[in-house]
């Protein structure tokens, strides 16, 4: 061993000990005949004191930053202690040393606030990983993984590895494929998730399975997606939805307790997909702050239950006014009118309001404008649509939106889907501006009762919202079995019985991010076949792609369900970061490249020939 102690270990009580340390040169400071050298490793920094002849020797070596040094000496008490450093009470009076390796001048400095831009840091990722900030992220990641494993072990789960070289079943995202040399013309696919394998394990009787496992999706990478990512993948047999919610609520609480020392005592809040959309315009609402949407006008076809209740409950008559006509064409012509009451923003200036209007008009949001009501502190109201709404009506509207004096009511009007989405974004933006989204506050939420299907206009068929293995609510199984999934009239797809089937599916949301999602699965062959048919697969196609699963369902498949957590995402949110990249040791960039190792790359013609494939890409 090149060292007796790490650079984060020695204390006052070690004074007098002969020690050997090894690490990287962080800084050197010369004070006449003495040189102080801060030696760094992943455990901390220890000050080395070079005096006399040894200092002369040190100077001869011309040590720079990041040189690797081994040094021996005696622990002594420091004259001026550094309380900011865990080793700050001592230093090492150096008696001998050896340069283990030199270092060129790093392209950026290894410190918390580095001068390296993103591109440089990615190219020299091995240096970036030396920085405290990145190291803490990876340590957090390790701690989260370990806490998850320990919890699941305690609950009787078994880690079982599933294969990486599987079969391509293009359903959902695009597969990465791997040409098979031993089976020319054939390809493996890398798994998008171990979904079917974990279901087979349930059929096999391994009633509590988990795996922390890499998954692969060949998608066009959005800002914060990676072609390879990691899931905490779990499945249980002989369970109902409630059992799974309970089990994994427990897991997340355990992780927070072990990793961050945060005790979440209350039960995780729950909402349904419809309620989440109605109140927040979003199926993964950030509930660290309230600011619910006031639904002033909505089409009768969407969220009919919520709409009917709102109309029934409203005593102010304001909703009724929006249905029958307000006299303001922007509202009257719109399919949907929604509002939120931004707390304490009534003093917003003209300029600020203009700027917020521009914000909602950006193509990403896509609204035509923003209406507002200032609820002044003196109880008066001032609005961008004063002309069409008398102050009494403004007051009613503001009160319906939950505004108090001092608040600013923001109103959006337009087509249902876009307007609701825009209002969700605006709500988050107000949350950001008002500091309501605190990094160190963690709010969990279960979102339940997702629709089982989405409608594909392009193919006039159903698409699985979660995946094709998700079970409908038990009481709706017969709706699927008893009805033909084909859609005779595309314009009336909402009237098809399948449109209203809800899934036994659930998402866990943390601070507005989906960190986990899962479902109770179909375990009956007949129902699974009906599902494949609904997704437009012929019986032959279903058999070709998923024959093994349909077959397995013939031999005593138990009821089962599961969940998968996005490990990268969970870590990044727990670490208070927006970016998952900061929590992956060797991430890829937005073109799917690893710029450090320069991958992907060309391969030898010999390799291509062995695989019996040819590339049709233009030669570079």
Residues 102-161 contacting a copy of itself, CB under 8 A: 102-104, 106, 124-127, 129-130, 135, 138-139, 142, 145-146, 149, 153, 158-161
Of 593, 618, 616, 552, the residue nearest 227 (C-alpha):
593
Task: Identify whether the C-beta of residue 178 lies closer than 8 Å to the C-beta of residue 165.
Answer: yes
Of 157, 151, 231, 239, the residue nearest 194 (C-alpha):
231
Q: Which residues pair with 48 in a beta bridge?
A: 37, 92
Among 74, 93, 168, 357, binds a copy of itself (CB under 8 A): 168
Q: Binders of a copy of itself among 372-411, rule CB under 8 A?
A: none
Q: Binders of a copy of itself among 312-371, rule CB under 8 A?
A: none
Task: Identify whether the C-beta of residue 24 lies closer than 8 Å to the C-beta of residue 69.
Answer: yes
Number of residues engaging a copy of itself in binding (CB under 8 A): 124
Q: Binders of a copy of itself among 22-51, rule CB under 8 A?
A: 22, 24-25, 40-42
Structure-block tokens of residue 314: 């409203």
Span of 81-89, 270-278, 459-467, 598-606 interacting with a copy of itself by CB under 8 A = 598-606
Minimum distance, C-beta of residue 67 to a copy of itself, in the bound complex (Å): 6
Among 51, 172, 179, 415, binds a copy of itself (CB under 8 A): 179
Of 297 and 588, nearer to a copy of itself (C-beta) is: 588
Minimum distance, C-beta of residue 587 to a copy of itself, in the bound complex (Å): 8
3 state DSSP class of 240 = coil
Structure-block tokens of residue 390: 């008398």
How far is it, in rounded angstroms, from Cα 613 to Cα 60? 59
Among 50, 67, 328, 455, binds a copy of itself (CB under 8 A): 67
Q: What are phi and psi of 190, to 5 degrees?
A: -85, 140
Task: Identify whether the C-beta of residue 215 lies closer than 8 Å to the C-beta of residue 231.
Answer: yes
Q: What are phi and psi of 591, to 5 degrees?
A: -100, 15
3-state secondary structure 378-429: CCCEEECCCCCCCHHHHHHHHHHCCCCCCCEEEEEEECHHHHHHHHHHHHHH
Minimum distance, C-beta of residue 154 to a copy of itself, in the bound complex (Å): 12
Minimum distance, C-beta of residue 458 to a copy of itself, in the bound complex (Å): 15
How far is it, in rounded angstroms, from Cα 250 to Cα 269? 13
Of 159 and 347, nearer to a copy of itself (C-beta) is: 159
Q: Binders of a copy of itself among 262-321, rule CB under 8 A?
A: none
Contact string 547-586 vs a copy of itself (x = CB under 8 A): xx--xxxxxxxxx------------------------xxx
Contact string 220-259 vs a copy of itself (x = CB under 8 A): xx-----xx-x-------xxx--x----------------
Minimum distance, C-beta of residue 187 to a copy of itself, in the bound complex (Å): 5
Among 74, 204, 483, 513, binds a copy of itself (CB under 8 A): 204
Of 342, 331, 341, 340, the residue nearest 298 (C-alpha):
331
Structure-block tokens of residue 286: 């950030």
Among 71, 200, 398, 409, binds a copy of itself (CB under 8 A): 200
Minimum distance, C-beta of residue 239 to a copy of itself, in the bound complex (Å): 6
């Amino acid at each position: 061993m090149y060292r007796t102690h790490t650079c984060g270990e020695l204390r006052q009580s070690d004074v007098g000990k002969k020690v050997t340390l090894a690490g990287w040169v962080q800084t050197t400071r010369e004070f006449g005949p003495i040189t102080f050298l801060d030696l760094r490793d992943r455990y901390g920094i220890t000050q080395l004191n070079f005096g006399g002849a040894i200092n002369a020797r040190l100077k001869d070596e011309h040590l720079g930053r990041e040189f690797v040094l081994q040094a021996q000496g005696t622990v002594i008490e420091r004259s001026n202690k550094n309380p900011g450093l865990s080793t700050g009470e001592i230093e090492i009076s150096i008696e001998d040393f050896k340069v283990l390796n030199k270092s060129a001048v790093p392209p950026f400095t290894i410190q918390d606030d580095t001068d390296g831009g993103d591109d440089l840091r990615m190219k020299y990722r091995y240096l970036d990983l030396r920085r405290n900030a990145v190291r803490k992220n990876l340590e957090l990641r390790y701690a989260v993984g370990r806490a998850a494993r320990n919890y699941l072990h305690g609950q009787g789960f078994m880690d079982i590895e599933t294969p990486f070289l599987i079969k391509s079943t293009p359903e959902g995202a695009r597969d990465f494929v791997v040409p098979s040399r031993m089976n020319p013309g054939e390809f493996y696919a890398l798994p998008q998730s171990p979904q079917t394998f974990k279901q087979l394990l349930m059929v096999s009787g391994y009633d509590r399975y988990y795996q922390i496992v890499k998954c692969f999706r060949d998608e066009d990478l959005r800002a914060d997606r990676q072609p390879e990512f990691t899931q905490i993948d779990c499945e249980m047999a002989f369970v109902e939805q409630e059992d799974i919610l309970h089990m994994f609520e427990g897991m997340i609480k355990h992780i927070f307790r072990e990793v961050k020392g945060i005790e979440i005592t209350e039960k995780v809040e729950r909402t349904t997909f419809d309620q989440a959309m109605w109140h927040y315009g979003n199926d993964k609402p950030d509930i660290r702050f309230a600011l619910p949407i006031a639904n002033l006008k909505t089409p009768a076809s969407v969220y009919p239950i919520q709409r009917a209740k709102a109309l029934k409950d409203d005593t102010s008559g304001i909703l009724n006014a929006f249905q029958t006509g307000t006299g303001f064409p922007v509202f009257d012509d719109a399919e949907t009118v929604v509002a939120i009451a931004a707390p304490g923003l009534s003093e917003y200036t003209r300029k600020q309001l203009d700027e917020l209007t521009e914000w909602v008009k950006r193509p990403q949001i896509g609204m035509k404008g923003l209406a507002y009501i200032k609820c002044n502190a003196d109880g008066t109201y001032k609005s961008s649509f004063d002309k069409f709404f008398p102050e009494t009506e403004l007051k009613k509207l503001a009160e319906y939106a939950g505004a108090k004096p001092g608040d600013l009511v923001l109103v959006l009007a337009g087509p249902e889907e876009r307007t609701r989405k825009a209002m969700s974004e605006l709500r988050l933006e107000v949350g950001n501006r008002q500091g309501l989204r605190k990094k160190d506050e963690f709010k969990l939420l279960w979102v339940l009762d997702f629709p089982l299907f989405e409608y594909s206009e392009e193919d006039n068929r159903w698409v699985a919202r979660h995946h094709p293995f998700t079970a409908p609510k038990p009481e709706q199984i017969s709706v699927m079995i008893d009805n033909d999934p084909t859609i005779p009239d595309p314009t009336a797809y909402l009237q098809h019985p399948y449109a209203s089937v809800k899934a036994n599916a659930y998402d866990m949301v943390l601070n507005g991010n989906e960190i986990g999602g899962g479902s109770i699965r179909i375990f009956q062959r007949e129902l699974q076949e009906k599902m494949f048919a609904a997704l437009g697969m012929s019986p032959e196609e279903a058999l070709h792609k998923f024959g093994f699963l349909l077959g397995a369902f013939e031999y005593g498949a138990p009821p089962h369900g599961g969940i998968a957590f996005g490990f990268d995402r969970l870590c990044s949110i727990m670490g208070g970061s927006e970016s998952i990249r900061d929590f992956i040791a060797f991430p890829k960039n937005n073109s799917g490249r690893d710029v450090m190792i320069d991958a992907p790359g060309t391969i030898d013609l010999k390799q291509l020939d062995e695989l019996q494939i040819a590339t049709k890409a233009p030669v570079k």
